[in-house]
Chain A
Amino acid sequence: MHWLQALGRSAISSINGLGRATLFLVDLVACLGELRRRFAEVMAQLHNIGVLTLSIIVVAALFVGMVLGLQGYNTLVDFGAESSLGLAVALFLTRELGPVLSALLFAGRAGSALTAEIGLMKATQQLDAMEMMAVDPMRLVVVPRYVAGVVALPLLAAIFSVVGLFGGYIIGVGLLGVDSGTYWSSIKEGVDVFDDVFNGIIKSIVFGFVVTWIAVFQGYDATPTSAGVSRATTQTVVAASLAVLGLDYVLTALMFGKV
């Protein structure tokens, strides 16, 4: 009966965790009203989370776009349809790869940093110290980081898609000889602003909410030891990545399933 007990214990603890995370989110949303007073802190976090993630996003997007251009061309040329290369690259990027890959990179680069930072604050009792001074750490520490993450990810995803398009352009037009006008006109013909572009942006907004939520919660909920912080950081990257991929399927089925 040992393994049954262990199964039960882990189920109860994960349900407990979900409950704590939900309560945490409710607390967090309740504090959003005073955001105006924390403007400078939000700025600083936007720099930490957004601007410093930009380089990895741009480099990754460029290479993803170039790979899409190369692979897409080699597949399409068999059907004599290499004029649709731009369209293929654009649909992949706007619908899927832009939001999903930037969310995964964001979880790895910014999410883990958020968890480690908040977790260490907890481990070194900085959060307790704030409470002693009647400063709510939720308002001072968590809310600005959360808001910055939610704002940053959709912007990063949009930048990812655009840079990826140019990556595909470099390979498709520069190297493989697809006509430059055809590349852009096939994109404009085939990509719908609501069906494809806006749905992609909605995806990235959802991912921003979820990834940042997981990151700040894991930090706030971490066991205040060095091992606990390290486990929480790992947990953030794993849970956020899985959540992004799972949610991506659900959102895709909702948005594009009927086509």
Chain B
Amino acid sequence: MASRTIETLVGCFVAAGIGAVAFMALKVGGWDSLGKSESYVITAEFSNIGGLTAKAPVTLAGVAIGRVEDITINRDDYSALVAMRIDSRYDNLPEDTSASILTAGLLGAQYVGLEPGADDFYLEDGGKIQITQSAVVLEHLIGQMLFNQAGGG
């Protein structure tokens, strides 16, 4: 085969390979959405986070606006401290915003839902959400129901 044909074919091959790497990095890995946008971190304390994990989405009115970055235990009062990285486009969350841990579907993954308040001051980087609602743990719910039924009957 002529060397020009070979070189063209190799060129196509290398271009396709590099294109595939780029596709994986940008479209599959989601690098484009990570790199461009600025973000800030807010925290919230929950008495029980249920099955919440790092990387779970943080939503406002159902729209994902950030991710759970880190979950630790507060040594002083044994509550769970959840750090959330929020996209800087949404930097106008009022200070009295409340956070609750919700479940997608009946058995789906858990996520953090934010409910905006009415305060004039906005949460800033490192800010802390005061009003939180813990995850609903199915076992507690069933236990409570059984307890109520026993009391009623």
Contacts and interface: CB of A to CB of B under 8 A. Distances in A.
B6 interface: yes
Contacts of A197: 24-25, 28-29
Interface string B24-64: 11011111011000000000000000000001010000000
Contact of A188 (B13, B16, B17, B30): B30
Contact of B30 (A155, A161, A165, A191): A191
Given A46-B13, A50-B13, A158 B28 contact: no
Interface residues of B, number: 30
Q: Which of B10, B33, B108 has the most CB of A within 10 A?
A: B10
A interface, size bucket: 35 or more
Contacts of A162: 20, 23-24
Nearest to B6: A47
Contact of B10 (A43, A80, A192, A194): A43
A51 B30 contact: no
B6 A159 contact: no
A155 B22 CA distance: 11
Contacts of A4: none
A152 B106 CA distance: 47
Contact of B21 (A50, A151, A187, A201): A201
B145 interface: no
Interface string A15-57: 0000000000000000000000000100110110011001000
B10 A51 contact: yes
B149 interface: no
B148 interface: no
Contacts of A172: none
A151 B14 CA distance: 9
Mostly helix, strand, loop or mixed at chain A's interface?
helix
B24 A158 contact: yes
A130 B146 CA distance: 88
Q: Which of A162, A184, A190, A191 has the most CB of B within 10 A?
A: A162
B73 interface: no
A134 interface: no
B27 A184 contact: yes
Given A158-B21, A188-B28, A193-B30, 20 more contacts: A40-B3, A43-B10, A46-B14, A79-B107, A80-B107, A152-B13, A154-B17, A155-B13, A155-B16, A155-B18, A156-B17, A162-B24, A184-B27, A187-B28, A193-B29, A194-B29, A197-B28, A198-B25, A200-B24, A201-B24
6 contacts: A43-B10, A155-B18, A159-B16, A188-B27, A188-B29, A193-B34
Which 8 A-B residue pairs are closest in the complex by CB-CB distance?
A: A155-B17, A193-B29, A158-B20, A188-B30, A197-B29, A162-B20, A193-B31, A158-B21
